[in-house]
Amino acid sequence: MKMKRITVALVFLEAGLAPIFLTSNSIAQREQNPPTRLSQPHRQATLPGLLQTWYRYWDKGYLITYGTDGPSDVSPTKPAIVIYDRNGSVAREGTIWFKDAYSVAINDAAVSRSGNLVVAGGTQNQAGVIANFIASIGDDGRMGQVIRTTPFLPVYICAAEDGTVWSFGIDRNEEGRGVETSPLLRQFSFDKGQIRRCCTNPN
């Protein structure tokens, strides 16, 4: 009997019915498997006021939030950056403002694995002059060291553990337009300023 069953199976394969045979077998296997379900959450946290923030993303285990009406929603009297730890508690806050500034906008913020917080953005004075920057935020929630990056516009930043900051962005000309041939990736040091640049736009 076993030999006959094997022979019949071979006849089906030779007759070109292998796809039907395999498909039926796959359906049978799917029906036998239990439905997939997500596991229970490992950790839950409540973050009050989170829905009122404009930007929210995770970095090095922290949830970074900033802006309520957009990246330019920055005030000299209230924190512009709030980061939360894994328990939903406020881990750090940062007030971003410059003397004689008319407006300040935040492009990005990042935190290192050891908890150092840095921000990137631009500021405009009453005369309309724009300056771009990368700044560190101290434990007191105030700006510490500042790197003026103009004409480079830092769009994204990453805080390295050696204290430097990597940024992806682009140079802008006097009319404020992007210079397509400018290096896109830069490394900055709060002590030395820009220390490395590479990778021009291939287009």
Mean pLDDT (the chain) is: 80
Residue 98 C-alpha from the chain's centroid: 25
pTM value surpassing 0.95: no
pLDDT tens digits, one per residue of 68-127: 666 567 889 889 899 988 888 889 999 999 999 999 999 999 999 888 899 999 999 999
Higher-pLDDT residue of 40 and 106 is 106
> Are 116 and 160 found together in one domain?
yes
Q: What is the pLDDT of residue 53?
A: 61
Q: In total, how many domains does the chain have?
A: 2
Cβ atoms within 10 Å, residue 164:
18
Distance CA 162, CA 22 (A): 56
> Are 8 and 107 found together in one domain?
no
Tokens encoding 164: 């430097």
Distance CA 103, CA 130 (A): 9
8-state DSSP, 150: T
128 pLDDT above the threshold of 60? yes
Closest CA to 130 of 164, 154, 108: 154
Closest CA to 96 of 109, 116, 79, 73: 79
Asked whether residue 24 is domain-assigned, the answer is yes
> Are 145 and 94 found together in one domain?
yes
Give the mean model confidence (pLDDT) for residues 132-160.
96
> Are 159 and 86 found together in one domain?
yes
> Are 105 and 189 found together in one domain?
yes
Asked whether residue 188 is domain-assigned, the answer is yes
Give the mean model confidence (pLDDT) for residues 169-192.
92
Q: What is the pLDDT of residue 203?
A: 62
> Are 75 and 171 found together in one domain?
yes
Closest CA to 56 of 11, 108, 17, 117: 108
> Are 80 and 160 found together in one domain?
yes
Asked whether residue 45 is domain-assigned, the answer is no
Domain that holds residue 186: 53-200
Report how far apart, in Å, the C-alpha atoms of 130 and of each of 5, 52, 103, 202 are: 82, 28, 9, 28
Distance CA 137, CA 115 (A): 10
